[in-house]
């Protein structure tokens, strides 16, 4: 509407006013996305469904690994670091799969999808849910790695690179799974299907994330992990852009 009123005025003014209109639209979209995110966060904090499932899963895994391995007293060989990195990412992957579909499935279960469709544009819904998943994964990553450091005696050689790896891995998890959560809301066997759909897309980033994380566990491994970090970020960008383009079709289906 704002666009129309500006074009009806003096034609000389249109050039100068059109840019603010486009900017205004983006700001509106981001505000809507933020509103969706805050609403979901509030619901999540009220029910704590996803957080509980994810953190408990991660804690159980860390406990099991701790019970199984602390007696061995692993030496810090290259293999030991790879094993520790694999176990960490296994815990993260399955914890994430148990909770990340919550954002959309919840809307279907409480029958609020139609209302959400009326209230916000598709992209804003996607961005809101994506932010929620990102926040959940950040929390999950921090808690899980703390548990591994304490219980499994993982020693982090280059903490900054390790955090970067965790963030990049979490980013690729969130970008590849958010749109899948929207796809499965209308299907039967939702949770099993979510894992089935997500796994093939997560194989490439997880291989890289495990190798990269193993490198950051070693002392001074930050530089070695750089290509892995680049790969994960490129993967996330590709998946994010594809999600933005495709989400419209999922949302209107």
For another protein, the binding residues (CB under 8 A) are 78-79, 179-180, 183-184, 186-189, 193, 196-197, 199-201, 203-204, 207-208, 211, 227-228, 231, 234-235, 238-239, 242-243, 246, 249-250, 252-253
CB of 87 vs another protein, minimal distance in Å:
18
Closer of 171 and 183 to another protein (Cβ): 183
DSSP, residue by residue, the chain: -HHHHHHHS-HHHHHHHHHHHHHHHHHHHHHHHHHHHHHHHHHHHHH-HHHHHHHHHHHHHHHHHHHHHTTT-----HHHHHHHHHHHHHHHHHHHHHHTTHHHHHHHHTT-HHHHHHHS-HHHHHHHHHHHHHHHHHHHHHHHHHHHHHHS----SSHHHHHHHHHHHHHHHHHHHHHHHHHHTTSSSHHHHHHHHHHHHHHHHHHHHHHHHHHHHSTT-TTTTHHHHHHHHHHHHHHHHHHHHHHHHHHH-
Closer of 130 and 235 to another protein (Cβ): 235
Closer of 25 and 186 to another protein (Cβ): 186
Closer of 28 and 79 to another protein (Cβ): 79
């Amino acid at each position: 509407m704002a666009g129309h009123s500006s074009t009806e005025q003096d034609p000389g003014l249109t050039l100068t006013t059109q840019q603010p209109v486009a900017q205004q639209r983006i700001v509106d979209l981001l505000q809507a996305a933020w509103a969706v995110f805050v609403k979901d966060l509030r619901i999540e904090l009220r029910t704590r469904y996803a957080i509980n499932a994810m953190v408990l899963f991660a804690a159980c895994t860390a406990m099991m690994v701790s019970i199984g391995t602390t007696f061995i007293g692993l030496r810090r060989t290259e293999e030991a670091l790879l094993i520790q990195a694999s176990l960490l990412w296994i815990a993260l992957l399955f914890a994430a799969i148990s909770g990340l579909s919550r954002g959309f499935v919840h809307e279907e279960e409480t029958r609020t999808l139609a209302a959400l469709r009326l209230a916000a544009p598709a992209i804003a819904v996607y961005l809101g849910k994506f932010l929620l998943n990102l926040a959940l994964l950040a929390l999950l990553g921090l808690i899980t790695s703390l548990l591994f450091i304490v219980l499994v005696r993982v020693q982090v050689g280059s903490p900054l690179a390790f955090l970067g790896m965790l963030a990049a891995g979490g980013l690729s998890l969130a970008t590849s799974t958010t749109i899948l959560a929207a796809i499965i809301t209308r299907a039967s066997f939702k949770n099993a299907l979510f894992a089935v759909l997500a796994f093939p897309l997560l194989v490439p980033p997880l291989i890289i994330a495990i190798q990269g994380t193993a490198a950051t566990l070693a002392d001074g491994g930050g530089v070695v992990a750089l290509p892995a970090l680049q790969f994960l970020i490129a993967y996330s960008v590709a998946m994010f852009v594809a999600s933005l383009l495709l989400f419209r079709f999922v949302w209107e289906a």
